[in-house]
Amino acid sequence: MIDYKSLIASKINCPLPQADLVNLITETADDSFGDYSFPCFRLAKEMRMSPVAIAQKIAGEVVLDDVVVKVQPVNGYVNFFVDRVGAIKEVLSDVQSAGCHYGESNVGNGKTICIDYSSVNICKSFHIGHLSTTAIGSALYKLYTALGYKVVGINHLGDYGTQFGKMIVAFKLWGDRTTAEREGVKELQRLYVKFHQEEVEHPELTDQAREWFVRIEKGDAEAQELFEFFKQITLAEVKEIYKRLNVTFDSWNGESFFNDKMDKPLQMLKDKGLVTESQGAQVVDLSDHKMPPCLLVKSDGSSLYATRDIAAAVWRKQEYDFDKCLYVVAYQQNLHFKQFFKVLELADLPWAKDLVHVAYGMVSLEDGAMSTRKGNVVLLKDVIDKAVEKSMEIISSKNPDLPNKQTVAEQVGVGAVLFSALENAKIKDITFTFDRVLNFDGETAPYLQYTHARCNSILEKATNRGNADYNALDDIETMRLAKLIRQFPQAVVDSANKYEPSILSALLIDIAQAFNKFYIEHRVLTDDLGATSARLQVVEATEIVLKKGLSLLGIQAPEKM
Ligand code: ARG
């Protein structure tokens, strides 16, 4: 690929070093002012001239060639125009030669990234609060994989805690296996809610729950068996959803996996003099770092969420020797991650700096937030089902004769739901509305899928092709589209490095919009076979990039819609 910025920098005669020039050159926001722009303001002092005069001087000295074809000084900027057809041809050939691997690279070869994401809780429903971690984590998984990293996807199951003692008591009193197997997590939730209601009048239930919890911890056969039963019921449902979302994991080691792996790290922290006693509990004091203490062992001897996360981090480092370990978890847990990262840092573990909390904002539905205790949760499954159902309605009215309507509706509905968690900077709180995420003309997954399908249908209709006449592509719409496609590989890198799939989502929307403008302005299939063939290459490149981009976000691209 031509490195335009370096090439242009080499043509600028001024006292700044080449590297600085490259950094100062930007792509112009308004392409009527050229393709690249160099601001002269920083040079004014050194050259003892006004920026306007400097721009004129530099522009006058530029030697043009067949790549940089025009230069223009404008108000302290030097604007450069590159050869359009050459630039467009280059992008097309890059995409053609990479094909479905466009955007991939090997920058990550030899490096390992652990991604802790989705991390659902046993006996709790898979609700919309877990959508973002699932969608963002899975997209990061695919992005890093495309960049050549070895990626380990971890579902750090919430499968430990006193709530499982409560579940056993509730199940033994009011539940039965047949109902639980038939109704699934909904039934487990019903029992859990009932426990909390009954507990108010019958405090002895609390003691029984505590006893059952101790029995789980001690490995008592009956307790273990019941816990496994709850776990299987939950996982069966959750895996059904992962399958629909096209989300996978390499490890399901959750909190309970670390039951027997906490002593060593605890001892290590003690040996380093970090652990102090506070009201019978063992803590790491973090007051020097302006945080409340990190609680490691309660006065009754039981461990905590942080203890398990510390043990998990140590274990993952040993097991995978990661270069980075990401935790895709809501910002509500900011303090938890800051605390346990700090504890590991204070323990002088050099890799503590490689732990990253990838925080994201809350998703709510129009009718307000939700809470598990009260039982009024919004299930992710219900959201997906409704999105698929609505997609079906839209598709049926737009294209009643489409074959495999149900499959396409599933791909569109699921895509719309996933994209809603990937389209904005992840830290933003978002409100999910069906009408918005399913708007085929909006900034949505269905819009991308629809544009992709439109590309396919054009390609399908193309029967006659001649030798491409690239000069037919010498227009602003094609150039804009080509420039955006050119940004794709860098957007993949940036999305991964900044843990921000929305960089890629935004580019895909721009590409789809630019394609649709191109398509409105220029007839693709005409009698001019040279022009037709050249434009078909533009359509093909767009098709490849949209499909690849969607797949990196975990979204399918139906051939027809
Ligand atoms: N299960 C937790 C929750 O639903 C998320 C766990 C995140 N991962 C971790 N290693 N703490 O809130």
What's the rounded mean pLDDT across residues 23-40? 95
What is the mean pLDDT of the segment spanning 401-412? 96
Residue 371 confidence (pLDDT): 41
Mutate to test the pocket of ligand 1, among 152, 156, 328 (most ligand atoms within 8 A of CB): 156
Q: Find the mean pLDDT for residues 30-36.
A: 94
pLDDT one-digit tens code per residue, 463-488: 878 899 999 999 999 999 999 999 99
How many whole angstroms separate alpha carbon 288 and alpha carbon 269? 17
Q: Identify whether the C-beta of residue 478 lies closer than 8 Å to the C-beta of residue 518.
A: yes
Question: Is there an atom of ligand 1 within 6 Å of 155 CB?
Answer: no
Average pLDDT score over residue span 181-203: 95
pLDDT, mean of residues 433-444: 92
- Counted residue by residue, the chain has a size of 561
Q: Measured from the CB, is residue 327 less than 6 Å from ligand 1?
A: yes
Question: Beta-strand (E) ranges in 299-370?
Answer: 324-330, 355-360, 363-365
User: Beta-strand (E) ranges in 361-490?
Assistant: 363-365, 430-432
Predicted confidence (pLDDT) per residue in 102-139, tens digit: 999 999 999 999 999 999 999 999 989 899 999 999 99
**Does 429 score more than 80 pLDDT?**
yes
What is the per-residue pLDDT for 367? 62
Question: CB within 8 A of 243, min separation 6: which ones?
Answer: none
Residue 230, helix vs strand vs coil:
helix
pLDDT of residue 432: 87
| 309 in contact with ligand 1, CB cutoff 6 A | yes
Can you tell me the mean pLDDT for 229-258?
97
Q: How far is the CA of 33 from the centre of ligand 1 (A)?
A: 50
pLDDT in tens, 256-313: 999 999 999 999 999 999 999 999 999 999 999 999 999 999 998 889 999 999 999 9
| Residues in contact with 455: Cβ distance below 8 Å, sequence separation at least 6, in sequence order | 515, 539, 540, 542, 543, 546
Rounded distance from Cα 157 to ligand 1 centre (Å): 7
**Is 384 within 8 Å of 418 (Cβ atoms)?**
no
CB 378 within 8 A of CB 365: yes
Q: Which domains does the chain have, with CATH numbers?
A: 4-82 (3.30.1360.70), 165-238 (no CATH), 380-425+436-552 (1.10.730.10)
Phi, then psi, of 80 in degrees rounded to 5: -115, 140
CA dihedral 453, 456, 462, 466 (to 10 degrees): 130
Q: Is 329 in the pocket of ligand 1 (CB under 6 A)?
A: yes
- CA 511, CA 468: separation in Å to the nearest integer? 22
Q: What is the mean pLDDT of the chain?
A: 95
Bin 549: left if φ > 0, else alpha if -120 < ψ < 50, else beta.
alpha
Quote the pLDDT of residue 369. 39
Q: How far is the CA of 156 from the centre of ligand 1 (A)?
A: 6
335-385 confidence digits (pLDDT tens)? 999 999 999 999 999 999 999 999 999 888 876 433 444 446 789 999 999
State how far the alpha carbon of 155 is from the alpha carbons of 245, 327, 426, 501, in Å.
Answer: 15, 10, 20, 20
The answer to whether the CB of 477 falls within 8 A of the CB of 517 is yes
DSSP 276-306: EEETTEEEE--GGGTS--EEEE-TTS-B-HH
Q: Is pLDDT above 80 for 402?
A: yes
Closest residue CA from atom 5 of ligand 1: 119
What confidence tier does 217 reach under pLDDT thresholds 50, 70, 90?
A: confident
Say what the pLDDT of residue 140 is: 98
Nearest CA to ligand 1 atom 6: 119
User: For residue 397, what pLDDT is reported?
Assistant: 95
Nearest Cα residue to 122 out of 245, 237, 250: 237
SS3 category, 478: helix
Other CB atoms within a 10 A radius of the CB of residue 351 amount to 17
Residue 171 near residue 185 (C-beta atoms within 8 A): no
What average pLDDT does this structure show over 427-436?
88
Contact between residue 71 and residue 80 where contact means Cβ atoms under 8 Å apart: yes
Q: Residue 362: its pLDDT value, please?
A: 87
pLDDT at 51: 96
Q: Which residues contact 32 (CB under 8 A, 6 or more apart)?
A: none
Mean pLDDT of all residues in 27-51? 94
Q: Return the pLDDT at 376.
A: 62
Q: Helices (DSSP H) in 62-184: which residue ranges?
A: 84-98, 131-146, 163-174, 177-183
Q: CA-CA distance, 389 to 410, in Å (whole number)?
A: 8
Ligand 1 within 6 A of CB of 38 = no
Which tops the pLDDT comparison, 376 or 518? 518
Six-digit token string for 9: 């920098």
